[in-house]
Chains A and B, each alone.
Chain A
Amino acid sequence: MTLLQDTPFTVAGRTFASRLLVGTGKYKDFDETAQAIAASEANIVTFAVRRTNLGQEAGAPNLLDVIPPSRYTLLPNTAGCYTAKDAVRTCRLARELLDGHNLVKLEVLGDDTTLYPNVVETLKAAETLLADGFDVMVYTSDDPIVARELEAMGCCAIMPLGSLIGSGHGIQNPHNVRLIVEQSQVPVLVDAGIGTASDAAMAMELGCDGVLLNTAIAHAREPQRMARAMKLAVEAGREAFLAGRMPRRQSADPSSPFAGRING
Chain B
Amino acid sequence: MPTSATVAITLNGEPYDLAAERTAAELVEALGLTGRRIAMEINEEIVPRSQLSATRLEAGDRVEIVHAIGGG
Interface residues of A (CB under 8 A from B): 23-27, 33, 46-52, 54-58, 62-64, 74, 76-77, 79-80, 89, 92-97, 165-166, 192, 212-215
Contact = CB atoms under 8 A, between A and B. Distances in A.
B1 interface: no
Interface stretch (B17-25, B29-37, B53-61): B29-37
A77 B71 contact: yes
A100 to B, nearest CB: 10
A94 B40 CA distance: 10
Contacts of A79: 71-72
Nearest to B45: A92
Contacts, number: 103
Contact of A27 (B11, B39, B68, B70): B70
Nearest to A62: B37
A50 B70 CA distance: 10
A51 B66 contact: yes
Instruction: Name, among B33, B48, B69, B70, the residue most crowded by chain A CB atoms within 10 Å (CB to CB).
Output: B70
Nearest to B48: A96
A30 B33 CA distance: 20
Given A62-B36, A96-B39, A97-B67, A46 B49 contact: no
Given A27-B70, A64-B68, A214-B72, 6 more contacts: A33-B70, A47-B68, A51-B13, A52-B67, A77-B71, A214-B71
A44 to B, nearest CB: 12
Contacts of A89: 41, 44
Contacts of A25: 70-72
B44 to A, nearest CB: 6
B51 to A, nearest CB: 10
The main secondary structure of chain A at its interface with chain B is: mixed
Contact of B71 (A48, A64, A192): A48
Nearest to A88: B44
B7 to A, nearest CB: 17
Nearest to A50: B69
Contacts of B67: 49-50, 52, 62-63, 97
Contacts of A212: 72
B66 A50 contact: yes
A14 to B, nearest CB: 20
A77 B72 CA distance: 7
Nearest to B71: A48
Given A62-B37, A97-B39, A23 B71 contact: yes
Contacts of A97: 37-39, 66-68
Given A51-B12, A51-B64, A93 B69 contact: no
Nearest to B41: A93
Given A25-B72, A77-B72, A214-B72, A93 B66 contact: yes
B36 to A, nearest CB: 7
B68 A49 contact: yes
